[in-house]
Amino acid sequence: MNNVYEKGSMRIGPDDIIIEHDQIALRVEIDKAIDIAREKHEKDNNTKIGIYPFIEEKCNISQDTYKKIQSPKYKNKWTREMLGKLCVGLGLSIDEANELFLLQGGKLNETNALDKIIYCALRDKDNVYDFCAEVLEYTGKDIESFKK
């Protein structure tokens, strides 16, 4: 079945629907991962913290950036760099991160320079600032969001 449906002047095929489904699933799984990490942080520190201050503190992703990437009404999607920052900042395991990366476009591939840095940062439980510095050093990409 290779039907192509028209809506206005754009053509939407079955592959586009799968990609959109993965983006929705990715957003749902990210919300779950953040909730789990935030609850652990609150329990460990005997304090309450809002979702946006938590993401800013742990992942170095601003509230505005997070909202734009996470909202389906914006065209911004999770890039590997930003998803790497989130996974490293949340302290996810390699398996947990790979579940998110699979929905984003593919599991971590150690032959890719960025993916290798993400993999090592997850393995070594690096903080997000060290991770950003390593990405800059080894790839030349500055993924520092907004503060140190």
pLDDT at 24: 86
Nearest Cα to 126, choosing from 85, 97, 80? 85
* Residue 91, helix vs strand vs coil: coil
pLDDT at 136: 92
Count of positions (residues) in the chain: 148
pLDDT at 31: 95
pLDDT at 20: 62
d(CA 121, CA 46): 27
Nearest Cα to 99, choosing from 42, 39, 22, 35? 22
The model scores a pTM over 0.85: no
Kindly give, in sequence order, each residue whose CB lies less than 8 Å from that of residue 29, ignoring residues fewer than 6 positions away: 99, 100, 103
Kindly give, in sequence order, each residue whose CB lies less than 8 Å from that of residue 59, ignoring residues fewer than 6 positions away: 85, 86, 88, 89, 90, 128
DSSP symbol at 7: E
Per-residue pLDDT of the chain (148 residues; tens, 9 = 90+): 444 444 443 444 444 444 466 888 999 999 999 999 999 999 999 999 999 999 999 999 999 999 999 988 776 688 899 999 999 999 999 999 999 999 998 999 999 999 999 999 999 999 999 999 999 999 888 887 544 4
Kindly give, in sequence order, each residue whose CB lies less than 8 Å from that of residue 41, ignoring residues fewer than 6 positions away: 49, 54, 58
